[in-house]
């Protein structure tokens, strides 16, 4: 086992609230353990372009509450090539780095795992993504903040929906996973929640809306995950429903990138701090090729390969709750 005396850290892929807090935790845990920490700007591309800068406890002051990532994030096609990864490895060796912490999503972990296997270079992952789509953690960093952002936005949309007797289709993030849609949908009292994991079907959706109208509801919110395929897309879906409800004013709202921004919630800040500490401690103990996760209140490790491949499941109890709530 090599003695780890210098750790590099980067943020990669889609940014998420809590990445800065995790960076702060990594840097300060290195300082606590009297080892060096190096920050790499712009993810794997920075690794290839030699964008390395030493970090100390003062480098991370004032960022605990800031969204985004002060190291910047990036997508790197060059890292997908062997040639790019060789350059990345050479730079790490040049700077005498012993191990790498990657804060990112499943794409970043795929790259990190390939890199570790190719060069026998220790990599640990911290799950930073709002999608909550990694196996081995009940919460990814930024997910809780995104849920609160979505809930607040839909609460505001509801004010308009009620004032004008409108039916709103609100599209939220989640190309492959419906976690944001299902949880925020329950939190805002949505009439229907459409997620990629469950195929409701247009007829059932129309039936449900008809029932709620009959029951006296004059406005409704339908939360749609961007990966849902009930319609071609949320606008086409709204058009198909509009034909059935000529007297209903229908509007579509796509929340978009605002879901990724903002100051991390208390939950995400505590989680990021715990994960950052565990990431450094794991490398110091000789662990690698693993993702730091959070389950049943505890911080735990899952092999990166499992975290990437295993799909997180939608909790059937949550589906049941959402169905009971819209009766």
Is residue 80 near ligand ADP by the rule CB under 6 A? Answer: yes
For ligand ADP, the closer CB: 115 or 169: 115
DSSP label of 156: H
> Looking at 29, 108, 183, 191, which residue binds ligand ADP (CB under 6 A)?
108
Gap between the Cα atoms of 233 and 169, Å rounded: 11
For position 107 contacting ligand ADP by CB under 6 A, the verdict is yes
Residue of 36, 98, 106, 131 marked active site: 131
Chain residues 2-21 in contact with ligand ADP, contact rule CB under 6 A: 12-14
The answer to the question of residue 111 lying near ligand ADP (CB under 6 A) is yes
Closer of 18 and 231 to ligand ADP (Cβ): 18
Minimum separation from the CB atom of position 111 to ligand ADP (A): 3
Exposed, middle or buried, 200 (CB in 10 Å: 0-12/13-18/19+)? middle
Phi, psi of 8 (to 5 degrees): -105, 150
Do 308 and 113 form a contact (C-beta atoms < 8 A)?
Answer: yes
Q: Is 59 in the site for ligand ADP (CB under 6 A)?
A: no
Burial class from Cβ neighbours inside 10 Å (0-12, 13-18, 19+) for residue 320 reads: exposed
CA distances from 129 to 11, 70, 103, 196, 324 (A): 11, 16, 9, 18, 30
- Single out the residue of 114, 157, 250, 314 in contact with ligand ADP (rule: CB under 6 A): 114
CA 89 to chain centre: 27
Q: Is 15 marked active-site?
A: no
Q: Is 251 in the site for ligand ADP (CB under 6 A)?
A: no
Dihedral sign for Cα atoms in the order 150, 152, 157, 158: positive
Nearer to ligand ADP, 79 or 169 (CB): 79
CA distance 270 to 251: 38
Span of 24-32, 74-82, 174-182, 220-228 interacting with ligand ADP by CB under 6 A: 74-82
Choose between 90 and 207: whose C-beta lies nearer to ligand ADP: 90
Which residues are the active-site residues?
131
Residues that bind ligand ADP (CB under 6 A): 12-14, 44, 75-76, 79-80, 104-108, 110-111, 114, 129
């Amino acid at each position: 086992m090599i003695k780890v005396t210098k750790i590099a850290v980067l943020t990669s892929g889609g940014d998420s609230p809590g990445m800065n807090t995790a960076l702060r935790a990594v840097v300060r845990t290195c300082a606590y353990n009297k080892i060096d920490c190096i920050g790499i700007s712009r993810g794997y591309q920075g690794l290839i372009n030699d964008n390395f800068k030493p970090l100390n406890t003062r480098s991370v002051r004032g960022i605990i509450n800031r969204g985004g990532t002060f190291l910047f994030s990036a997508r790197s096609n060059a890292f997908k090539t062997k040639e790019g990864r060789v350059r990345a490895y050479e730079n790490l060796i040049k700077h005498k780095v012993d191990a790498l912490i990657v804060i990112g999503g499943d794409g970043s972990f795929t790259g990190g795992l390939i890199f570790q296997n190719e060069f026998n270079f220790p990599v640990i992952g911290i799950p930073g993504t709002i999608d909550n789509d990694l196996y081995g953690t009940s919460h990814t960093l930024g997910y809780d903040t995104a849920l609160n952002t979505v809930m607040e936005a839909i609460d505001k949309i509801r004010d308009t929906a009620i004032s004008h007797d409108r039916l709103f289709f609100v599209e939220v993030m989640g190309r492959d996973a419906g976690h944001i849609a299902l949880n925020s949908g329950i939190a805002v009292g949505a009439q229907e929640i459409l997620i990629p994991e469950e195929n409701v079907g247009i007829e059932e959706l129309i039936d449900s809306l008809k029932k709620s109208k009959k029951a006296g509801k004059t406005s409704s919110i339908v939360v749609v995950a961007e990966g849902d395929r009930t319609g071609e897309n949320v606008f086409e879906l709204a058009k198909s429903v509009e034909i059935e409800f000529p007297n209903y004013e229908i509007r579509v709202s796509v929340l978009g990138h605002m879901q990724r921004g903002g100051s991390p919630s208390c939950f995400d800040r505590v989680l990021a701090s715990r994960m950052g500490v565990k990431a450094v401690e794991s490398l110091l103990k000789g662990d690698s090729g693993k993702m730091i996760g959070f389950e049943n209140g505890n911080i735990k490790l899952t092999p990166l390969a499992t975290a990437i491949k295993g799909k997180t499941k939608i909790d059937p109890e949550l589906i049941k709750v959402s169905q009971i709530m819209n009766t």
